[in-house]
Amino acid sequence: MIAVTLCALLTLAGLTSFILTLQGERSLANYSEMNEKARKMLEQVGRDLRSAGDVPAGGYSSTSLQILIPSDTTGTNWQTVTWAYNANAGTFTRTVAGGPAVTYATNVTTFNFKYYNNNGVAPSSDVDLKQVQLSMSMQRYLTTSNAASNSEYVISAQFTLRSKSTTV
């Protein structure tokens, strides 16, 4: 009887350890996936913002940003690109005018764009806008989105619109 009880306790301890190991591995895989997606997203956002020639009047808010970027190597033709956060879907997308939206991040729980001028304060006009800060959080879950979160990844980056003029 004592041997059976000890065997059952050891088996339970082994199974518990195995389950915790699997959950840890899944959490690490989730974090790795979020990190990879975040790097790709930040690379594309950075490329777009560094080459942006203009931000149309009223083309920015805390959840979206519309910019004009060169569509060719000469810089004479421009295309409108919109980066937008959809709170209901939990996505962050890039849309080139006339094209489909491409999702760069999913399971986004918080998101915010902030805008600054050359002096690091909020711009007084569209012309004055020179820097963009992006802050967001993404989460991944062990089983379903209703389960407790097991991985969270927080991103914050600031970009300078190098090609945008701040004079009228």
What does the pLDDT look like over 43-79, one tens digit per residue? 999 999 998 888 888 889 999 999 999 888 777 889 9
Give the chain's length.
168
> How wide is the angle at C-alpha 133 spanned by C-alphas 129 and 136, nearest 5°?
145
Which residue reads 């918080």 in tokens? Answer: 110
Where are the chain's structural domains? 2-160
- Closest to 130 measured CA to CA, from 145, 141, 120: 120
* pTM exceeding 0.85: no
Contact 39, 63 (CB under 8 A): no
Residue pLDDT, tens place only, 5-22: 878 777 877 777 767 666
Q: Is the dihedral of CA 121, 122, 125, 126 positive or negative?
A: positive
Encoded tokens for 105: 């991040």
